[in-house]
Amino acid sequence: MSDGRVSVVSKVAVVTGAGSGVGRAVALELLETGWSVVLAGRREETLAETARLAGGGPPAPVVPTDVASPQRVDALFAAVRERFGRLDLLFNNAGSFGPRGVPLEDLAYEDWRSVVDTNLTGAFLCAQAAFRLMRDQDPRGGRIINNGSLSAHVPRPDSVAYTATKHAITGLTKSLSLDGRRYGIACGQIDIGNAATEMTERMSAGVPQASGEVVAEPVMDVADVARTVRHMASLPLEANVQFATVMATAMPYIGRG
């Protein structure tokens, strides 16, 4: 049985937030399985480290990008067009949790705005630029996979900005999926729970629960997330995983609250 590795050779992907965590894991998985991957993120040094970790094969282009900036996003996709002439996949992954443990009533406007600009506006700007490229290329079409979160379904305590943006990502995914039909663009969403990354290191020490308790939570290997994204990306455009939830089996999500 094929695992989808041969069919994706020479396809082109953009991964945002590729300098660490889920973005790095997905970028490396795609590179290992034959994709050409453009690495986008704020910090050039961490993107370069992702490129080094990829090992053999053609070097992955590194494009420092602030996804909240229309000009920087335009420059990113212009670089993709110039280098490859097309785009087959956007993994809309860049995101920020914002300050942790801050009650809603104490959250600064600037912190709210920063999370919204990165998580929601950034995802929109990248999707819009990808639409324009995928619409105009020959053959037409492509795929967008948005990184949602279990917070796209239920919140954690003191996470209003992150949770609101991740709920909004679900609306963005549905709109992109509908509006992309006329251009042969498929859009799906992956909702991730407790993948072992720098962002979830605190899980083993304990995180606040809805009850007010602080409880350690299990995590899963981030490579399992990367393999799921790769499977979603390897489908023909006639098929789409609209929503996928990948989570640590025993984490307190089912029944949270």
* C-alpha to C-alpha distance for 160 and 256, rounded to whole angstroms: 16
Which amino acid would we find at residue 144?
I
Known active-site residue 162: yes
Pull the structure tokens for residue 205. 């020490």
The angle formed by the CA atoms of residues 36, 81 and 47, to the nearest 5 degrees, is: 50
- CA dist., res. 119 & res. 95, Å (int): 5
Of how many residues is the chain composed? 257
- The catalytically annotated residue of 109, 162, 183, 253 is 162
Separation between Cα atoms, residue 235 and residue 4, nearest integer Å: 8
From the CB of residue 55, how many other CB atoms can be counted at a distance below 10 Å?
9
Q: What is d(CA 30, CA 28) in angstroms, rounded to the nearest whole number?
A: 5
Q: Are 180 and 195 spatial neighbours (Cβ–Cβ below 8 Å)?
A: no
The DSSP output letter for 220 is: B
- Supply the DSSP string of 89-100, one letter for each residue: EEEE------ST
Which residues does the annotation mark as catalytic? 162
